[in-house]
Structure 1
Amino acid sequence: MTFNNGVSRRQVLQAGGVGAGFSLAGCLGSLGSDSGTELTFASTFEKGTLENIAIAKLKEKVEAETDGELAINHVPGGAYGGEEEMTQTLSNGGLEGMGAGPLPIAMWAPEVWFHSSPFIMDDFEHLLRVNNSELIQSSYENIRQEHDVRVLGDPLYVGWRSMTSNEPVKTVEDFQGFELRETPIGTWIDSWEEIGVNTTTTPSDEVYSSLESGVAEATTSDANQALSMSLYEVQDYFIEVEYLVGNRNLWMNENSFQNLDETHQELILEKSQEASEETTQQGKEAEQETLDELESNGMEIISDVDREGLREAARPYIEEQFDTNWKGTWEEVKSI
């Protein structure tokens, strides 16, 4: 399956570093409770990732507030398959909620895929403003009405996407002909190639071996990925290009939401927002700690990157996407 924005099922799963796993849709679902209502919230990732931290916070807050009358069954680890399978299960009502990336936008609102495309957002605060603007909210509303999937709270910040390398690249000139491994998502690859970079693609589970063998000389990565994959063993530099704001969300099946009484609906909305804000703060604090740990493992952190020059070099491709595929204009998005 390929979405209109050039993102295929395989590409999205690789972007998240998650295999399709196996599906238990219809087996886990909504579990009955003698004392009230239980909602199942799932994730493709194991416990400890930020979306699972957010689900855990939501669970704790909701159950404490209702004395267990409204309970959340937290199922991490991909029991519902990869993110596309899980999203479809959520839409079909086989699951009440999930923590996941902006895949529903990729699948059902490609006209606002700039939400998660390179060089467009200034920072996470800009992403929040754009996310809460009519430009994006109208697409969320269409997803809710047409696919029975509701977004809960603001996006979670999961870190700037930057890169690791054995060369200290900083300027647009440095990137001319530069060999870079990128996740195989069309807009991500095409943005780099507009700048003059030669891209290659490998699955996320082959990043380390491709760098070790020299198949790739550099890779895009966030700080957490660089640390968890021990990329400091095969790369000298972590280069803070900060070209894409990593974000994820809590999502809920709309029919499941509407089946709750009004008090529980309001509680879910309120506590989802609290969980999102607290998890984002935790993610920001962890990002700096992770950079410090990369440095202690021998990586040099390069911060003085010509980010604005790279953004301008990517401008022709970005503006073409706004002209042909995306809603609004880049100037409109930048001004939000």
Structure 2
Amino acid sequence: MEVKTNVRKFMFFISILGLILVIVGCGNNEDAGNDTESETESETDGSAQTNADTENDGEASGDEETYTLKMASPSNPEDTMVQAFYHFEEIVEDESEGRIDVEVLHSGQLGGQSDYIDGLQLGSIQAAEITTSVLSSLNDKMLIFDMPYLSNNMQHQREVIQSGVGDELSSALEEQEDIKIVGWLQRSARNVYSSAGPIETAEDFEGLDIRVMESPVMLETMELLGANPTPIAADERYMALQTGVVDAAENSIALILTEKEYEVTDYVSMTNHFMTPNTISMDQNFFDSLPEDLQDVVLDAGEKAGEFAFEEEKSQIDSAVTELEDIGMEVNTIEDTSSFKEAVQPIYDEYEEDIGEDLFDAFLENK
């Protein structure tokens, strides 16, 4: 009986010992499994992080900075200058593949051309339509385009600009004012339109209250002709004519249509006295901030916008005369302009030193 009891105890002890060994063994295997799994997860996480970092680096290296280019104009959307701006916008956005976003702000939304100079120098706008008459307030050389009867026609003026004169004038502004000319937008010759009657000879200017641009040469030219000139901003011209502040204005003939100033005048006289180009003037600091490839895009677009404006403006001269006559305006052509040229001759001698004899020669040699 005692032997059986001892056997049972021994067997019980063996069973307990075996059970303990099994439990310990399972525990070690589970820990090993957990360790392996943790290591695998760590390796996976590390690999995933490495892949993510590599992917982000790829995205970062693939990102290219984008630029916004705001362009201001006092002109209406139908005007040649604004159409040239839209042409510029299309080319820049296409050739830059969207890296430059162009915004055309027309109809004087940002004020007049003098305001645009401030905007360019402050960096609030990047480009603007500014005539050389307004730019002459920054550099006297620009007055060359205000000299009466110096340009024979648009083609003559174009050849002079492309002969190096355009680059010379742009360089002068870049050095002194941080403004760069990236495109030349030519206008056709300026003519007088008024409610006071037609102009046939220089004597008909006597006592005429006429709006001119903010240019000392234009003011003095009209004074030499006997008129009473008043400088008025382009976006105020219509109201000045409508209210009788002035009786007349002078501009390219197509603009009389696009600005609807036939509504407040009755006569157009083809005096062809000034031929003043506009420019695409750009903030030099903005231009310099562009990568070289985008600078090339802007310059290419500026040249093509100038070609567009040249062809468009030329094509509108005859059609504008016809349209104005159909509306009811009286348009007179002046065959002999000698009385006008004789009256304004003194201004050449007066401004030759300020402007530079070389610029006068550039026009005279290309005649």
Where does residue 259 of structure 1 map in the other structure? 289
Deviation at 1:55, TM superposition (A): 1.9
Is residue 262 of structure 2 the alignment partner of residue 231 of structure 1? yes
**Which amino acid in the other structure matches residue 41 of structure 1?**
K
Where does residue 148 of structure 2 map in the other structure? 118
Where does residue 243 of structure 2 map in the other structure? 209
2:340 to 310, 326, 331: 310
1:62/1:42 Cα in 2 relative to 1: closer, same or farther (>3 Å)? closer
**Which amino acid in the other structure matches residue 322 of structure 1?**
E
1:85/1:189 Cα in 2 relative to 1: closer, same or farther (>3 Å)? closer
Across the two proteins, how many residue pairs are aligned to each other?
Answer: 294
Per-residue CA deviation, residues 127-165 of structure 1 (Å, 9 max, x unaligned), is 223333455533321211232211113x21233211125
Deviation at 1:266, TM superposition (A): 1.3
Where does residue 148 of structure 1 map in the other structure? 178
Is residue 211 of structure 2 the alignment partner of residue 177 of structure 1? no
SS of the residue corresponding to residue 111 of structure 2 reads: coil
Deviation at 1:103, TM superposition (A): 5.4
Where does residue 333 of structure 1 map in the other structure? 363
- Does the 8 Å CA contact 2:142/2:169 hold for their aligned counterparts? yes
1:191/1:107 Cα in 2 relative to 1: closer, same or farther (>3 Å)? closer
**Which amino acid in the other structure matches residue 231 of structure 1?**
Y
1:274/1:234 Cα in 2 relative to 1: closer, same or farther (>3 Å)? closer
1:82/1:299 Cα in 2 relative to 1: closer, same or farther (>3 Å)? closer
- Does the 8 Å CA contact 2:113/2:130 hold for their aligned counterparts? yes
1:201/1:83 Cα in 2 relative to 1: closer, same or farther (>3 Å)? closer
Is residue 218 of structure 2 the alignment partner of residue 198 of structure 1? no
**Which amino acid in the other structure matches residue 149 of structure 2?**
F
> Over alpha carbons, which structure has the higher Rg?
2
1:270 to 300, 324, 328: 300
* Structure 1 segments unaligned to the other structure (5+ residues): 1-33
1:182/1:104 Cα in 2 relative to 1: closer, same or farther (>3 Å)? closer
TM-score (norm: length of structure 1): 0.76
Percent identity of the aligned residues?
17
1:90 to 83, 103, 120: 120
* Structure 2 segments unaligned to the other structure (5+ residues): 1-62
Deviation at 1:60, TM superposition (A): 0.8
Q: Which is strand-richer, 1 or 2?
A: 1
Alignment partners' CA distance in 2, 1:234 and 1:79: 25
1:239/1:133 Cα in 2 relative to 1: closer, same or farther (>3 Å)? same
2:89 to 59, 84, 106: 59
> Over the residues paired in the alignment, what is the CA RMSD in angstroms?
2.8
Is residue 197 of structure 2 the alignment partner of residue 163 of structure 1? no
Q: Which is helix-richer, 1 or 2?
A: 2
